Structure 1
């Protein structure tokens, strides 16, 4: 057996191991960043029905009060904000970025803001953690309700 024949299998094994390791790392990073269940990392396009009006940030009209269900809320992923109505006529807003891994929250229901990435749930009333793995509440966002209009800021 020549020297090149002896080293070829070792090089081939190293290449296979390197490719498999890179593929595994890519898959692991993709799984941490997004899930097929509606979760997505902070910088991903919205899949949660955020506003398509580019003028909705920086104090522009975000939504109307009639669009926010009592006991629920609505996620504006492009603006990274979730607006809730814990009880009739009371509106709250929180960051839509999950404090666990930075995913945009995916739904609002049953009194909680929910993140599909890892299952964290937050109170629609005050943003506190109702179910981990998140350990920090969603930060409050400032909104103004004037008539039936809700604006950011």
Structure 2
């Protein structure tokens, strides 16, 4: 009995639609990964402005500085960890993959080595005023106030890092 190749237009159309949709999605994703610089002459377009953009402390990476500071932008201190505005009040952020910077009260900053003393997993930053820092791997818990161990398998608390605010940045002291 010979095997017959049967043309199935519905199956072919569905496959073609799926492939075209996936290709369009890929193009949309790549378009979203474009450069950070606005297009010249964006002043008349919706969402654009003819005024130059003001420097922002929120968002962006202060460590992408290439050494040139065009137009009077503030210089990022060499020992900066994070812009103060990027650390939420009552919460924290992990910076440089190794440091937990927290702001337990407005204008008060603390920093700890983010590696749990138990097995080195990076701890989770606190949020919404939670007074506890927790390790996601084995649930060791530490106090936001001083990094001391509350419970869990960690043999000791988190190592503190002295910080201060300088020029709008949390820096190592």
TM-score past 0.5 threshold: yes
Higher helix share: 1
TM class by shorter chain equals 0.5 to 0.7
Corresponding residue number in structure 1 for 2:159: 139
The alignment partner of 1:130 has SS state of: strand
Give the Cα separation in 2 of the matches to 1:82 and 1:111. Answer: 14
Q: Answer whether contact 1:72 1:112 (CA < 8 A) is retained.
A: no
1:107 aligns with 2:159: no
- 1:1-153 matches, within 5 Å, as 53=63, 59-76=78-95, 78=97, 80-109=98-127, 110-153=130-173
For the pair shown, the structure with the greater C-alpha radius of gyration is 2
Q: Answer whether contact 1:111 1:123 (CA < 8 A) is retained.
A: yes
CA drift of 1:117 comes to 0.7
| Unaligned residue ranges in structure 2 (runs of 5+) | 1-60, 66-76
Q: Answer whether contact 1:105 1:113 (CA < 8 A) is retained.
A: yes
CA drift of 1:137 comes to 0.7
The alignment partner of 2:158 has SS state of: coil
Give the Cα separation in 2 of the matches to 1:59 and 1:126. Answer: 26
The alignment partner of 2:161 has SS state of: coil
Aligned residues: 100
The alignment partner of 1:94 has SS state of: strand
When the two structures are superposed, what TM-score results if normalisation uses the length of structure 2?
A: 0.50
| Larger RCO (alpha carbons 8 Å, 6+ apart) | 1
The alignment partner of 1:119 has SS state of: coil
Compared with structure 1, are the counterparts of its residues 59 and 144 closer, same or farther at alpha carbon in structure 2 (3 Å cutoff)?
farther
| Unaligned residue ranges in structure 1 (runs of 5+) | 1-50
Give the Cα separation in 1 of the matches to 2:64 and 2:142. Answer: 27
When the two structures are superposed, what TM-score results if normalisation uses the length of structure 1?
A: 0.56
Provide runs of 4+ in structure 1 moved above 6 Å: none
- Root-mean-square deviation (CA, aligned residues, Å) is 2.4
